[in-house]
Amino acid sequence: MCQLLGLNCATPTDASFSFTGFCDRGGRTDHHADGWGIAFFEGKGLRLFIDHRSAHDSPMAAFLQGYPLKSRNIIAHVRKATIGEVALENAHPFVRELWGRQWVFAHNGDLKDYAPNLHSHFRPVGTTDSERAFCWLMQELAKSHAGLPSVDELTRTLRELVPQVRRFGTFNFLLSNGEALWAHCSTKLHWLVRQHPFSQATLKDRDWTVNFADLNQPGDRAAVIVTTPLTSNEVWTAFEPEELKVFVDGLPVG
């Protein structure tokens, strides 16, 4: 299946370290070679990069590993295609607008025979079950709230909606609107918080160690969410099955 990476931070944070180790799983150290993508917010703006090639072979991915990916909310994905051909329109993350905000979504898993009723405003461009699920979530959020609700209200609504998708199969996903990052685990997802006092971290997929104390200030903080732990010397916490967590300012809040 695919793999997910998300960062939710208190201040704009450089994600190059995590993104580089994650990209290695897109065809070098693992078999998720059917496309990749990353989306990161800059204020209300959003930068989105996707490619149908493997992250390991993509010149765009190589460029971004050296680009200062500073953001408070980042979602990345490496794909192992199961439903939907290998094509640019099927590369995650997917993006839609709702209530004047960009929403970003990436999914890991299979949803069998999933064909929700969708109205004209939210329609898939590609052929994945993932994009159909995202469109349905956006549609139902829009029906449930007249305007942009609080993070707590959004979380309560998502807790009602997610089981309606989960019954069709595996539904690990990351979702962000630039204010918060929601993460749902069906089968496998891990998280940690990097904060003061910062320590060293060593990637599992590449020989690279970083001392975060040299790169961060005391007020910096980043929650990292990933399918399989990226580092060998940090303490990662596994999500419980069917757990939905929301992260704000680099901390889990629900």
- The pLDDT value recorded for residue 68 is 80
Q: What is the DSSP string of 14-83?
A: E-HHHHHHHHHTBTTSSB--S-EEEEEEETTEEEEEEESS-TTT-HHHHHHHTS--EEEEEEEEE---SS
Confidence of residue 40 (pLDDT cuts 50, 70, 90): very high
Q: What CATH number has the domain bearing residue 34? A: 3.60.20.10
For the question of residue 135 being annotated catalytic, the response is no
Higher per-residue pLDDT: 9 or 60 = 9
| Domain total of the chain | 1
- The domain in which residue 214 lies consists of 3-252
From 2, 9, 23, 185, the catalytic residue:
2
Query: 30 pLDDT exceeds 70?
Result: no
In this prediction, residue 42 carries a pLDDT of: 93
pLDDT in tens, 74-113: 999 998 777 778 889 999 999 999 999 999 999 999 999 9
pLDDT digits (tens, 9 = 90+) for 188-230: 999 999 999 999 999 998 998 999 999 888 999 999 999 999 9
In angstroms, the Cα distances linking 204 to 39, 74, 112, 141, 177 are: 23, 20, 33, 38, 30
CA distances from 122 to 101, 131, 140, 147, 187 (A): 14, 10, 10, 17, 27
The per-residue b/e assignment along 97-132, b for 16 or more CB within 10 angstroms, e otherwise, is: ebeeebbbbbbbbbbeebebeeeeebebebebbbbb
Q: How is residue 83 written in tokens?
A: 């439903």
pLDDT band at 27 (very low <50, low <70, confident <90, very high): low
% of the chain at pLDDT higher than 90:
76
